[in-house]
Amino acid sequence: MSIITLDKETYYSKEYSLSKMTTEEYIRDPRFQLIGFSYQIDDGKPTWITGSDKYMAEHLHSLELEKHTLIAQNSLFDASIMSWHYGIHPKFIIDTMSMAAPIQSITKGKSLDALARHFKLGVKGKEVVAAMGKRREDFTPEELARYGGYCDNDVALTYALFNTLREYSTPQEMYVIDMFLRLYTDPILVLNKPLLEQHLVNVVERKEALLAKVEAIVGKDGLMSNPKFAAVLQKLGVVPPTKISKSTGKETFAFAKTDAPMKELLAHPDDRVQAVVAARMGVKSTLEETRTRNFIAMAVRGTLPIALNYYGAHTGRASGAESMNLQNLPRGGTLRQAIEAPPGYKVIACDSSQIEARVVAWLAGQEDLLEAFRNKVDIYSSFASDVYGYEVNKSMTDQRFVGKTAILGLGFQMGWKRFAEQVKSMSGIVISEADAKRVVNLYRSKYYRISELWDAADTAMKIVVAGGTAEFGVGIKLIWASEGVHLPNGMIVRYPGLRYDAEYESFVYDDRYGKRNRIYAGKIIENVVQALARIIVFYQTCKIDKQLRKYDKPQSRFKIVLSVHDEAVTVAPAKAAEKVKEMMVKTMSQPPVWAPDLPVACEAEIGANYGECK
DNA sequence: ATGCATCGCGCG
DNA sequence: AAAGCGCGCGATGCAT
């Protein structure tokens, strides 16, 4: 098997370019045109190919990528063209841009230019021909040759970059990258266009009805802007509620729908106030409408390619992309329902249960909590029983919700104020200051090993700041050296520029974008736990993918079709759905080799569409 | 016009 | 001393 490094040059103009539209829109556009491409086999010299569409297509097919590995800088682009325009599906896809993502804070960006300069691999050529607005026919042979030289240089740099980045990645992570790219290059899920069109009508009508009720009071644009909305409230004799901003520490309006004073205004004696507040809440999120419009536009073009940044978060979690974040679709909504399996197939989704709560208990060595998870105890009810002093069961939703919020948040040093606030905003349950403090203290004393884990992380951080190397963790010992916390799969949670900051009166580090970021015990533990949970779920997801791919070729429907943090989604022929579900449950019930005593569990559902799998 | 910071809101 | 965390997108307001 060879490694083929490749780069394509394609037509673009002022309006038709990747800076004006998504990759999917650009590649599926009728204006799309391949101008030429360079490729290099293993350590060989780059070759530039240009000519008629037929000639280039034949040359691409002659590379037999089905048997080889493709490398590109931003393979999302090159591999999608390969798949959507030429029906070529490489055996394995490597993307140097994705490989660079975990070390972005070191390389200061992940463009080919930035990476080549950082690693001193050479210089990315400046564009040698004016290509803007020119189709292939418009170039002179001499211009095309110069274009080829530029493209050859990019290919050589990309291959050198791959060899450099190898030592920062692992085979397992490369599999994850390939799997994520294929969510996009070989899309399987289908959008239900009629359903989306009807939904758009409903959403627009609902919004118009809300606005019609209050237009006389607020005018055309008094709802979205905070200062304007404040003026509207004042006009109605209401003092606009305020709060302290979490990001700036300054006073700001408390106009979010989770802000308690806003909720109270929904029951204001003046009907006009009620209507205005309800309208603001109903209009503030534009997600439903904009996403529906984007889905419809995409449905016209084809199936749903899923764009996820592999390693988008500081902790390695994936993040959304392409104006189409598929990790935050409203639960129980039409958008999820509109994502369907192809005809004759079913969607199967499998969720890892309370993975972070389990990992923090395991990392801390909190044996009683681990034992409860092992025995499949309903841990939310169980902790709520301790809080209330009587037996809480699943039917006691309020008490259980308090237990759930405690189990999911208090392991990361959440305080009593935030706890009470969160419970109230999510469920309406009011907890007194004394009770909130009691719950927090109960958690910290009952699960004292978790509090001790925070202390251990705090100590470790101070040792590292003083120039040393430290370790923390009971379930597994994690080494914290200068660059960050080393994880059992070879990856690192990085804290560049870790130091004490007098102005912030706190320890800080510089995030990916160079911004100062506070860091403290509970947050370190949360970061590390999130990173470990991600490693576990991604490992399980890859294992599911590998088992499915055995049944067909790489471009087949037998593969992972979506991943959302603690969830893996596949499609399977209706007849095989139960079997595939069993395989997924079995796979996601197994802990990784480095945590054999970690009790993991999962839940799976089968449906005709993604919405039915919840 | 364009970039940047902030807020709100959707998810895990 | 104590502090739940991690994202992306759209809208707004302000600076350039």
* A566 in contact with nucleic chain C (CB within 7 A): no
* Integer angstrom CA distances of residue A386 from A380, A399, A435: 10, 11, 13
* Mean pLDDT value of segment A9-34: 94
Residue ranges in A410-520 assigned as alpha helix (H): 416-427, 433-446, 448-465
How far apart (Å, rounded) are the C-alpha atoms in residues A453 and A431?
A: 27
Instruction: Tell whether the model's pLDDT for residue A555 goes beyond 60.
Output: no
Residue A574, both tokens: 């209706």
Q: Distance (Å) from CA A145 to C1' C7?
A: 43
Q: Distance (Å) from CA A514 to C1' C16?
A: 22
Closest alpha carbon to C1' of C12, residue: A225
Tell me how far the alpha carbon of residue A551 is from its chain's centroid: 28
Q: Which nucleotides of B are covered by protein (CB under 7 A)?
A: 6-12
Band of pLDDT at residue A410, cut at 50, 70 and 90: very high
What DSSP state is assigned to residue A333? S
Three-class secondary structure of residue A483 per DSSP: coil
What DSSP state is assigned to residue A183? H
Instruction: Tell whether the model's pLDDT for residue A67 goes beyond 70.
Output: yes
* A257 in contact with nucleic chain C (CB within 7 A): no
What is the structure's pLDDT at A168? 95
What is the structure's pLDDT at A614? 81
What is the structure's pLDDT at A180? 96
Token pair 């050859």 in the structure block, residue: A152
Query: H or E stretch including A501?
Result: strand A499-501
Instruction: Tell whether the model's pLDDT for residue A19 goes beyond 90.
Output: no
What DSSP state is assigned to residue A354? T
Give A161 or A224, the one with higher predicted confidence.
Answer: A161
Residues 6+ apart with CB under 8 A from A52: none
* Mean pLDDT value of segment A554-582: 90
CB A346 within 8 A of CB A606: yes
Q: Distance (Å) from CA A524 to C1' B9?
A: 26
* A288 in contact with nucleic chain C (CB within 7 A): no
Nearest nucleotide by C1' from A294 CA? C9
* Mean pLDDT value of segment A346-366: 97
Query: H or E stretch including A38?
Result: strand A34-41
Instruction: Tell whether the model's pLDDT for residue A14 goes beyond 90.
Output: no
* Integer angstrom CA distances of residue A482 from A9, A77, A99, A454, A458: 41, 36, 22, 19, 15
**What proportion of chain A, given as a percentage, has pLDDT over 70?**
99
Residue ranges in A87-192 assigned as alpha helix (H): 96-100, 104-107, 112-118, 141-165, 171-185
Q: Distance (Å) from CA A107 to C1' C16?
A: 28
Model confidence, pTM: 0.95
What is the structure's pLDDT at A244? 84
**What proportion of chain A, given as a percentage, has pLDDT over 90?**
78
Residues 6+ apart with CB under 8 A from A11: A31, A32, A33, A34, A35, A134, A135, A136
* Mean pLDDT value of segment A54-74: 97
* A322 in contact with nucleic chain C (CB within 7 A): yes
Q: Distance (Å) from CA A58 to C1' C7?
A: 42
Q: Distance (Å) from CA A379 to C1' B9?
A: 29
What is the structure's pLDDT at A382? 96
Closest alpha carbon to C1' of C10, residue: A286
A538 closest CA partner among A489, A469, A610 = A489
A215: buried, middle or exposed (CB in 10 Å: 19+, 13-18, 0-12)? middle
Q: Which nucleotides of C are covered by protein (CB under 7 A)?
A: 1-13
CB A342 within 8 A of CB A558: no
Token pair 């101008």 in the structure block, residue: A35
- State which residues between 448 and 467 of chain A bring their CB within 7 Å of strand C: 458
A463-515 pLDDT per residue, tens: 999 999 999 999 999 999 999 999 999 999 999 999 999 888 899 999 888 88
Nearest nucleotide by C1' from A319 CA? C7
What is the structure's pLDDT at A550? 85
A301-335 pLDDT per residue, tens: 999 999 999 999 999 999 999 988 999 999 999 99
Query: H or E stretch including A190?
Result: strand A190-191
Q: Distance (Å) from CA A516 to C1' C8?
A: 20
Nearest nucleotide by C1' from A328 CA? B11
What is the structure's pLDDT at A554? 54
Amino acid of residue A432: S
* Mean pLDDT value of segment A81-85: 97
Instruction: Tell whether the model's pLDDT for residue A223 goes beyond 90.
Output: no
Amino acid of residue A336: R
Nearest nucleotide by C1' from A226 CA? C12
How far apart (Å, rounded) are the C-alpha atoms in residues A490 and A571?
A: 31
What is the structure's pLDDT at A108? 87
* A320 in contact with nucleic chain C (CB within 7 A): yes
* Angle in degrees, CA A126, A130, A132, rounded to 5: 110
How far apart (Å, rounded) are the C-alpha atoms in residues A350 and A308?
A: 18
Nearest nucleotide by C1' from A321 CA? C8
What is the structure's pLDDT at A188? 94
What is the structure's pLDDT at A31? 96
* Angle in degrees, CA A317, A319, A323, rounded to 5: 175
How far apart (Å, rounded) are the C-alpha atoms in residues A165 and A309?
A: 17
Instruction: Tell whether the model's pLDDT for residue A10 goes beyond 90.
Output: yes
Q: Distance (Å) from CA A419 to C1' B6?
A: 24
What is the structure's pLDDT at A553? 62
* Mean pLDDT value of segment A130-137: 92
How far apart (Å, rounded) are the C-alpha atoms in residues A124 and A150?
A: 8
**CA pseudo-torsion sign A246, A251, A255, A261:** positive
Closest alpha carbon to C1' of C6, residue: A313
